[in-house]
Structure 1
Amino acid sequence: MSKLVFTLALCCILVAQILAQDASGRRFCDRLFDDCRREESKVGTEDDTVGLFNAYCGRHDRNWKRITRCELVRASCILTMVRCDNGTCKNVAESLRPN
C-alpha cells in the first residue's frame, strides 16, 4: 500500500511541475513577443527567414496566413519551451491560435 501511495504522490508532483512549467514558459514567450513588438518599428515585420517560411508554408497549405517576424519568434518559443515540438507549418499555426 505504501508503494502505491508513494507512486501516486510522485505522479502528482510531476504533473504539478509540468503544469507550472507550461505557464512559466508561456509567460516567457509572451514577454519575448512583447519585446519583439516594441522593436518592430525599427527592425520591420519581416526578414529572410520569415519570408522563406511564409513562402514554403504558402506553397504547401493554401489556407496559410502569412505571419510576421514576431509571430514566428513567439511560435518558435512556444514550440521549443512549452510543447517540445518541431517548427512545422501546422505546429506554428496551432501555437499562434488563442487559447
Structure 2
Amino acid sequence: MSKVLIFLAFFCLCLMLIQAQPNENRRICEKLTRDCVACQRRRGPDDDVTNIFNANCRRNNRRWKNITRCELDRATCELTLISCRAVTCENVRRILD
C-alpha cells in the first residue's frame, strides 16, 4: 500500500511540474522581450540575422511584412520553449499575430 502511495505522490508531483513549466517558459520569453525592447534604441531594431530572415521570408511570400529583432527574439523563444516548433516564416507570423 505504501509503495502505491509513494508512486501516486511522485506521479502527482511530476504532473504539477509539467503544468508549471509552460508558465515559467512564458515568463522567460516575456523577460527576454522586455530586455530586448529596453535595449532596442541603443542596438537598433534589426541586425544581420533579422535582415536575412526577412529577406528569406520575402522570397517565399511577397506580402511578408518585415519584423524587428525583438519580434524575432520573442517568436523564437515562444516557438522553442513553449510550443516546440521550428522557426519558420509561417510559425513566426502565427506567433506575432
Q: Determine if the TM-score, normalized by the shorter chain, exceeds 0.5.
A: yes
Q: Determine the C-alpha separation between the residues in 2 that align with 1:54 and 1:27.
A: 26
Q: How many residues align?
A: 91
3-state DSSP of counterpart to 2:54: helix
3-state DSSP of counterpart to 2:42: helix
Is the radius of gyration larger for structure 1 or structure 2? 2
Distance 1:64 1:14 in 2: 42
Gaps of 5+ in 1: 1-5
Equivalent residue for 1:90? 90
Deviation at 1:13, TM superposition (A): 6.3
1:59 maps onto 2:20 in alignment: no
- Normalized against structure 1, the TM-score is what? 0.78
Unaligned runs of 5+ in 2: 1-6
Superposed CA RMSD in Å reads 2.1
Q: Provide Cα deviations, 1:54-81, integer angstroms capped at 9, x if missing partner.
A: 0111111233221000011111111111
* TM-score for the superposition, normalised by structure 2: 0.79
Deviating 4+ runs (over 4 angstroms): 12-16
Q: How far apart, CA to CA, are the structure 2 residues paired with 1:73 and 1:50?
A: 9
Paired amino acid for 1:59: R
